Amino acid sequence: MARVAFIGLGNMGGGMAANLAKAGHDVRAFDLSAEALERAAKAGCKAAASAAEAVADAEAVVTMLPAGKHVRDVYESSVIGKAPPSAILIDCSTIDVATAREEIEKARAQGYAMVDAPVSGGIAAANAGTLTFMVGGAEEAFARAQPFLEIMGKAVIHAGGAGAGQAAKICNNMLLGASMVATCETFVLARKLGLDLQTFFNISSQASGQNWSMTSYCPVPGVGPETPADRDYEGGFATALMLKDLRLAMEAAQSVDAYTPMGSHAEELYGRFAERGGAGKDFSAIIKMIEDSWTPPLQK
Ligand code: NAD
């Protein structure tokens, strides 16, 4: 079993660190939040006084932080030059492709192997150890990260070189955001045209309009499988996180001169929904804004 440093014990990192400890690894954990650190200690991790202390003799370093600037800060102040160069560095945060590539290159220049390994799957999957990891980095770095990622996930896929994990993640989530908006406006139109929504679901889910946002995550309460729509859009994947990923996708699209009109429109709509108080709701709740934008508010 290995000495693993885990930095960033929030909604996602807390469960992931606990799963590494449960698998028998010696997990030295650090978070700026004393509360998060205490929860990790209760889940079998050893609390460290700083990130630098956590990584001091680590064989693997895992980070799960909010955004690119936190990843840059933590790696540059507390990991590079502080962890042994033999440690494999694994950043699981969702961040911009450019920062991921820069940090992997800076680590490589100091003799470290590092991968970007963002996840698909929410808090429940992090707790259950059933995340999907999309990994960017050299073949050899991927092979070293894989056994640790397999403990925390059900699928670990090598997406390509440095930054490829982040690129795959934002491309997937841009498609998800756009397909959810399209699914929502379709159900609104179907209702206004007098269709019974369960009947329309039965038709479209077996016809060419079929897509994941409809069949696995239907935004209409009482239609299709059980989803956050059936719990007043609580839990699930928060609009604020979808908006973050759409912004990262638009930034990446601009950097390579890619034309992404549907992604850009989805970003604008999710931005508006977040401003109107939807940030904490599941991202499928945008159907309410779409309904209300075109008619007087529904009698709910
Ligand atoms: P979170 O805000 O709950 O957790 C982040 C943690 O990092 C916090 O506990 C914070 O105190 C800690 N932190 C910040 N700066 C730090 C520093 N310098 N040193 C030590 N700790 C520091 O966020 P989360 O929901 O766990 O998300 C983490 C990452 O996973 C994000 O990049 C997010 O986009 C991505 N993600 C989240 C979900 C989800 O459903 N929550 C799903 C997929 C991906």
Tens digit of pLDDT for each residue in 7-61? 999 999 999 999 999 999 999 999 999 999 999 999 999 999 999 999 999 999 9
**156: helix, coil or strand?**
strand
User: Side-chain half-sphere of 146: how many Cα atoms within 13 Å?
Assistant: 13
* DSSP state letter for 84: -
* DSSP state letter for 274: I
The DSSP bridge partners found for residue 7 are: 30, 63
If you average pLDDT over residues 110-128, what whole number do you get? 95
Q: How far is the CA of 29 from the centre of ligand 1 (A)?
A: 14
Is residue 22 flagged as an active site residue? no
CA distance linking residue 22 with residue 54, whole number of Å: 18
Residue 94 has pLDDT above 50, yes or no: yes
Q: Kindly state the tokens that stand for 159.
A: 């997406």
If you average pLDDT over residues 80-107, what whole number do you get? 97
At 294 the pLDDT is 55
Contact by Cβ (8 Å): 125, 11: no
Pocket test for ligand 1, best of 37, 61, 65, 281 (most atoms within 8 A of CB): 65
Q: How far is the CA of 142 from the centre of ligand 1 (A)?
A: 22
At 300 the pLDDT is 44
Taking CA atoms only, the protein residue closest to ligand 1 atom 17 is: 32
Contact by Cβ (8 Å): 71, 96: no
Q: Kindly state the tokens that stand for 45.
A: 């991790």
If you average pLDDT over residues 133-162, what whole number do you get? 98
If you average pLDDT over residues 157-185, what whole number do you get? 98
Pocket test for ligand 1, best of 6, 9, 12 (most atoms within 8 A of CB): 12
Where residue 237 falls among pLDDT bands split at 50, 70, 90? very high
Q: How far is the CA of 215 from the centre of ligand 1 (A)?
A: 29
Using CB distances shorter than 6 Å, the residues near ligand 1 are 7-13, 30-33, 36, 51, 64-66, 70, 73-74, 93-94, 119, 122-123, 237, 241, 244
Q: How far is the CA of 32 from the centre of ligand 1 (A)?
A: 11
Q: What does pLDDT average to over the chain?
A: 96
Q: How far is the CA of 14 from the centre of ligand 1 (A)?
A: 9
Q: What are phi and psi of 280, to 5 degrees?
A: -90, -10
CA distance linking residue 143 with residue 82, whole number of Å: 23
At 297 the pLDDT is 46
Instruction: Catalytic residue, from 22, 46, 169, 281: name it.
Output: 169
Structure pTM?
A: 0.93
Where residue 298 falls among pLDDT bands split at 50, 70, 90? very low
Q: Kindly state the tokens that stand for 227.
A: 């989803």
